[in-house]
A and B are shown apart, each in its own frame.
Chain A
Amino acid sequence: DAKTTQPNSMESNEEEPVHLPCNHSTISGTDYIHWYRQLPSQGPEYVIHGLTSNVNNRMASLAIAEDRKSSTLILHRATLRDAAVYYCILRGSNSGGSNYKLTFGKGTLLTVNP
């Protein structure tokens, strides 16, 4: 899997927007950009993914740079429940079971202040 780079930690205040950056300069043309988050003592949870265009869902938005070498996960209004480790991961899009393997980096620990 291509490598991603994220800040180790970020801090936000409750009800404010949060922008979590991710650099992936070696991304290939067929790699999807995935974001997962992990709350304490739980398995990771899918947040959002995209390929080229910006994506929105009920949890977050994903802004993808035009050259696809970076992306930003946007939480529009952070809540205390959003405090977690956020992982930015690249996944290939070819068919086959091995393509579902995810390589986790250290992620970004998001702290949300009340």
Chain B
Amino acid sequence: GAVVSQHPSWVICKSGTSVKIECRSLDFQATTMFWYRQFPKQSLMLMATSNEGSKATYEQGVEKDKFLINHASLTLSTLTVTSAHPEDSSFYICTAPWGGRLGGELFFGEGSRLTVL
């Protein structure tokens, strides 16, 4: 079946460095992907919509220069956390709608846990 895969599943970095997280749709093409962030014991919060071949759309309050999103192909979207700081430590999750079916299910990646020291 359709699967969305994220890499890396976890990463630890020093404050000030940049981290790239990949989200791939396997066996299907995704012109749109979504990135979520989840802090401990909280629900998922939508960060941005990744659009293949065009600029990402960011939710209110999300810094586009800090969270760079690139959707260069129909199967890959990347989220780069630039100049990461401890407050950026979180669980980042991507999702893609499969098949474009109206009202159909979305497939989520396994999530990427970022820890900034």
A residues apposed to B, CB below 8 Å: 32, 34, 36, 38, 41-46, 49, 51, 87, 91, 93-95, 97-107
Contacts and interface: CB of A to CB of B under 8 A. Distances in A.
Contacts of A95: 102
B116 interface: no
Given A43-B4, A93-B103, A101-B46, 15 more contacts: A41-B91, A41-B111, A41-B113, A43-B95, A43-B109, A44-B108, A46-B108, A93-B102, A94-B102, A97-B32, A97-B97, A100-B32, A102-B46, A102-B106, A106-B43
Contacts of A98: 49
Contacts of A106: 43
Contacts of A93: 102-103
B110 A51 contact: no
A43 B36 CA distance: 10
Given A44-B93, A97-B31, A106-B43, A49 B108 contact: no
A101 B49 contact: yes
Nearest to B102: A93
Interface in B13-60: 31-32, 34, 36, 43-46, 49, 51
A29 B51 CA distance: 28
Question: What 5 pairs between A and B have smallest CB-CB spacing?
Answer: A43-B108, A97-B32, A32-B103, A46-B105, A100-B97
A87 B93 CA distance: 16
B34 A100 contact: yes
A100 B106 contact: yes
A45 B97 CA distance: 13
A31 to B, nearest CB: 9
Contacts of A99: 102
Nearest to A87: B43
Contacts of A91: 103
Contacts of A101: 34, 46, 49
